[in-house]
Chain A
């Protein structure tokens, strides 16, 4: 059978979360009010209204461009894209065309073979989002212009993506970076972050790309991967059957799990881009770019590598602890607190990736809640209680969970509930004698040479003390009692 090569490029739209809109001063919080309560003469496209560029949106776009290793173009201009559809009332969208703000970037993702691979980014430009249409049963449409004019970054990848899995990983990485630098909340469900794809296949050995098909309406990472996997198979099957691929736009139907051709248009879009006469060119200088560079935090990949080197973490732990910036910040705050009481960075990592992630997962809370639920100082306290021998490991887990649930400091929980470790040999010896008397079977096994039977008896000791017995002392005391009598 012929082997096929898949080629995918993604076009991602990400809102820049400014307070006001891209070209006018009304609120960009489009979901936070009744329909058409976030509009002005500019976002309603009324005659004579003058759009004025939001400085912060440009800064955020440049910040994003730098985080994606793009060059920032010191001169860029806005363009009108003719577009007659009521979700934008002007009859055109203000965007950037031949002179985008950022170009020629890349990000690194894990390829299917496990190696690291660069995916090129052709450009990142800024434009305005559209309003929301509600199609009514009677055939009319209702329009809410709250979202019209919200700043939007369009990020176009090179066709460097070789599989649906890589496409998902690229999109996830992009989301991680945009959220990390604070320009986007990553909310796909509400369309703050959206993704379209161009996909083609060609037989191995064929030099030129196959005919590309555009896929829309993929609203989750899973949808991106599923839609592209479906589309790749559809194209291969068509070629195998001797059919040709038609250049078209297809929509992903999540319920049916198929891509469906959208109505073919007699006329291709005729956008007739031309320079936006109302907005003077953006002319930036090296100092301005340097200021954006200085604003950029340490990025996820760099921080992950530093965590591995500085705190001796495994790649897997370092990745988990850099999944979001709030998690990485939390980890480092907890490490600082723990190191003050001689706790290790590795132990802190284990408590977070083990217990804390599990508890958050159970309560359904996002990682951003960590600091409130379990202040970094509380993790350090648990480590200190353990290091001093005040509590056992079993009790530590219990205290950790209680502290997470109640917000109470771990040392207070230990004091209030009398959870201090029992290391007193006399107390434990009395208990050991009771347990030996109550469990003749394992005692006999032990005495007949099956020394591992003592494990059961140690377990009984721990159970009787609700986990407070020092396991080493308990074992030593049991051995003493068993061998003495």
Chain B
């Protein structure tokens, strides 16, 4: 399954990767090869097998609505690269940038 260059650019963008043009073609070939490999799965006959979202065999794992002690503000912020006024601090965020 040959991916288009546009599809690779789109995936790179979604993954927040800045790929130089020189790498795009290499990525296109490698990703296409991976998809080709996965295409083998299409050969399996799954007629009569219900779709599943889980392999654990578990269902309805729930907990009671009870509070437990949680992190303090200092604990919550301890790994933050930057913080101010008890809050995480990040560079300007606009939706446009979030998708690009």
Contacts and interface: CB of A to CB of B under 8 A. Distances in A.
Interface string B58-89: 11111111111011110011000000111111
B60 A142 contact: no
A145 interface: yes
Contact of B93 (A58, A133, A266, A283): A133
B95 A85 contact: yes
B65 A20 contact: yes
Contacts of B71: 26, 39-41, 44
B23 interface: no
A86 B90 contact: yes
Give the interface SS of chain A, mostly helix, strand, loop or mixed.
loop
Interface centre among A36, A44, A82, A141, by most chain B C-beta atoms within 10 angstroms, is A36
B42 interface: no
Interface in A6-62: 18-20, 25-27, 34-41, 44, 52-58
Given A36-B73, A40-B70, A44-B76, A141 B92 contact: yes
B65 A142 contact: no
A270 interface: yes
B53 interface: yes
A444 interface: no
B66 A19 contact: yes
A19 B65 contact: yes
A77 B93 CA distance: 31
Contacts of B1: none
Given A85-B98, A283-B59, A19 B76 contact: no
A277 B61 CA distance: 13
A95 to B, nearest CB: 14
Interface in B4-19: 10, 13-14, 16
A145 B88 contact: yes
A346 to B, nearest CB: 42
Interface string B40-65: 00000000000001101011111111
A37 B88 contact: no
Contacts of B65: 18-20, 54-57
A39 B93 contact: no
19 contacts: A25-B63, A26-B67, A26-B68, A35-B85, A40-B71, A44-B71, A52-B61, A54-B63, A57-B65, A58-B62, A84-B99, A85-B95, A140-B84, A140-B90, A266-B99, A267-B100, A275-B54, A283-B59, A283-B60
Interface of B: 10, 13-14, 16, 53-54, 56, 58-68, 70-73, 76-77, 84-96, 98-100
